[in-house]
Amino acid sequence: MPTPDWSPIKALAQTPLTDLFADDPDRLAFLTADVAGIHFDWSKTHLAREAVEAFAAHADAMDLAGKRDALFAGEAINVTEGRAVEHSAQRGEGAPDSVAQARAFHARMRALIDAIEAEALGPIRHILHVGIGGSALGPDLLVDALGRESDRYDVAIVSNVDGLALEEAVKDFDPQATLLAVASKTFTTTETMLNAESAIAWMTEGGVADPYGQVVALTASPDKAIAWGVDETRILPFSESVGGRYSLWSSIGFPAALGLGWDAFEELLEGAAEMDRHFRLTPLRQNAPVLAAFADLYYTQVRGCETRGVFAYDERLRLLPSYLQQLEMESNGKRVTVEGEPVTWPTAPITWGGVGTDAQHAVFQLLHQGTHLVPVEFLGVVEPEDVQSEAHHRQLLLNMLAQGAALMKGKGHEDAARAYPGDRPSSTLLLDTLEPRTLGALIAFYEHRTFVNAVLLGINAFDQFGVELGKEMAKAADAGDLDFDASTNDLLSRALGA
Ligand code: F6P
């Protein structure tokens, strides 16, 4: 694999955004795309035609097209773990055997959902999903974004090991009518297993005679779930080749499939598959995940940006920034190449963000006048939700569009404190509607963009060894096998009296 050579891209002229528009009358057509009900606009980024050409040459040098084919063919592109990366197969786009296996697992999930709906597990009204990281953030985003109007089941998703999280989640739940979904790819994650045990204790205290009879396991380690006490018939497996942060399409999406209904879950998969096909078949220069990655890399490699901001101007997408934090930072927060050599260029920026318009009144000061250049991504939905009044929705979208324009245009003033430098970049994603199909396409877009970034950076997006050390040290300290440093020992004795 070649080492990325950023010098042709760094050598390009740095033209202000307003000049880029003035110089190229077709800029809008060139830097916009419409895919699967989403309009993408990168015209307010500093990508000029020459930059796109330079990035396209870089993509060829890094064999992006070959890597993309390898991803969809189910080759073991996660080289450090010797695994294929098959979240797309969950949507029907991948190696035939993997697609067939995903369909069989989905059929099993659907059959269990049908049985639950038919009250085979009793009169279930509440779903308590415990999981963490990729086993919680995806389902949480789906249920929060799409489940507001649903009166099917109450869904609570608990991730934090802080007991308060569980206590608050179940405070209005009847243990007799609660289904506990334990979501863990490995079925060993400390937080999830402790939360699951506490949930069982809560059910027992609530008079449930057979609490394990109300448990469903969502896992790639069925043996461990059986050993923990879950009946084989209520285990919903998924493949090892589906990474945790890419797993909402598998049985990890169970609370969404049950909470929103199977048809909605299938539409989600179909929307993602539409984005898969776009990514797989569209030439690089018109390819949405590829163009987005070009813009990402322009700011990290050329302008030295260390963060990127994501602002959803829709309450239903308020969990998107947290979801993207794991997807992007756990995937591409790496310091060695695919070959294990240290990188000498920046990898993933820090993803952060919030919800508009709230964020405007909190953090946008820095975006407009601070010393950090932050590429901003705006997301809006054209069609309001039923309960959103026209007037509110209009204000929401007007504000989003005005912020992008203001960041780019700036404003001179004789008083420097009141001047806006402008020339600050943003991209905008406009969803026609927020439905399972468009949300599926949106999430798949982010997955592929993350992959393209990794390929062009020369790194592996699919391992996450960096999360292990802290976990190991906590376990060792719990077992009394670790003597920390002086500071941590002092804090330990203050915090836990140990
Ligand atoms: O600690 C990080 C991590 O391994 C994530 O990658 C993963 O999504 C999360 O923990 C949960 O893991 P599991 O699904 O195995 O419980």
Query: Which residues are paired to 428 by β-bridges?
Result: 41, 378
Question: CA-CA-CA-CA torsion for 60, 62, 68, 74, nearest 10 degrees?
Answer: 140
Active site residue 361: yes
Does domain 7-82+268-463 fall into CATH 3.40.50.10490? Answer: yes
- Taken as a whole, the chain contains a residue count of 498
Which residue of 189, 191, 469 sits with most ligand 1 atoms within 8 Å of its CB, as the best mutation to test the pocket? Answer: 189
Is the minimum distance from the CB of 133 to ligand 1 under 6 angstroms? yes
CA of residue 105 to ligand 1 center, whole Å: 20
- Which residues on adjacent β-strands are paired with residue 431? 38, 381
* Distance (Å) of CA 443 to CA 36, 38, 247, 289, 327: 12, 11, 11, 11, 10
What letter does residue 309 receive in the DSSP assignment? E
Structure tokens at 162: 């802080």
Ligand 1 centre from 133 Cα, in Å?
Answer: 5
Residue identifier of the C-alpha nearest atom 3 of ligand 1: 133
CA 245 / ligand 1 centre spacing (Å)? 8
ipTM of the complex: 0.98
- For ligand 1, whether the C-beta of 467 sits within 6 Å is yes
Q: What is the pLDDT of residue 388?
A: 67
Does ligand 1 come within 6 angstroms of the Cβ of 184? yes
pLDDT of residue 149: 74
Candidates 328, 467, 469, 471: which one to mutate for ligand 1, based on the most atoms within 8 Å of Cβ?
467
Q: Is 448 marked active-site? A: no
Domain boundaries, the chain: 7-82+268-463, 95-260, 468-496
Indicate the residue type of 22: A
Domain 95-260 matching CATH 3.40.50.261: the answer reads no
Options 330, 377, 435, 447, the catalytic residue? 330
- How many alpha carbons lie under 13 Å from residue 456 in its C-beta half-sphere? 30
Closest atom, ligand 1, to C-alpha of 221: 15
Cβ(437) – ligand 1 distance below 6 Å: no
Residues 6 or more apart from 163 whose CB is under 8 A from it?
198
Atom of ligand 1 nearest to the CA of 330: 6
Residue 388 neighbours by CB under 8 Å, 6+ apart: 396
Q: Would 7-82+268-463 and 95-260 be classified into the same CATH topology?
A: yes
Residue 392 appears among annotated catalytic residues:
no
Q: Is 234 in the pocket of ligand 1 (CB under 6 A)?
A: no
Q: How far is the CA of 497 from the centre of ligand 1 (A)?
A: 30
- Separation of CA 319 and ligand 1 centre (Å): 18
Please name which of 69, 37, 62 lies closest in space to residue 297, comparing C-alpha atoms: 62
Atom 8 in ligand 1: which residue has the minimum CA distance? 134
Q: How far is CA 429 from CA 39, 42, 377, 378, in A?
A: 6, 9, 8, 6
Centre of ligand 1 to C-alpha 30, Å, is 39
Q: Which pLDDT does position 387 carry in this prediction?
A: 67
Shortest-distance Cα residue to atom 13 of ligand 1:
184
467 C-alpha to ligand 1 centroid (Å): 9
The pLDDT, as a whole number, for residue 135 is 98
CA atoms within 13 A on the CB side of 343: 22
* CB 35, CB 202: distance < 8 Å: no
**CA angle, 41 then 295 then 69, to 5°:** 95
CB 217 within 8 A of CB 230: yes
Per-residue confidence of the chain (498 residues) as pLDDT tens digits? Answer: 789 999 999 999 999 999 999 999 999 999 999 999 999 999 999 999 999 999 999 999 999 999 999 999 999 999 999 999 999 999 999 999 999 999 999 999 999 999 999 999 999 999 999 999 999 999 999 999 999 877 889 999 999 999 999 999 999 999 999 999 999 999 999 999 999 999 999 999 999 999 999 999 999 999 999 999 999 999 999 999 999 999 999 999 999 999 999 999 999 999 999 999 999 999 999 999 999 999 999 999 999 999 999 999 999 999 999 999 999 999 999 999 999 999 999 999 999 999 999 999 999 999 999 999 999 999 999 998 876 688 999 999 999 999 999 999 999 999 999 999 999 999 999 999 999 999 999 999 999 999 999 999 999 999 999 999 999 998 888 888 878 999 999 999 999 986
pLDDT at 359: 97
Selected catalytic residue, list 119, 149, 171, 361: 361
Nearest Cα residue to atom 2 of ligand 1: 467
Rounded Cα distance, 312 and 374, in Å? 16
- Between the CA of 494 and the centroid of ligand 1 the distance, in Å, is 30
Residue 389 pLDDT: 84
Q: Which two tokens stand for residue 93?
A: 């786009």
Would you say 127 and 306 are in contact if contact means Cβ atoms under 8 Å apart? no
Q: Whose CA is nearest to atom 10 of ligand 1?
A: 133
pLDDT of 477: 87
The Cα 450–Cα 242 span in angstroms is: 15
Q: Considering the entire predicted model, what is its pTM?
A: 0.97
Q: Which of these is catalytic: 392, 471, 472, 475?
A: 471
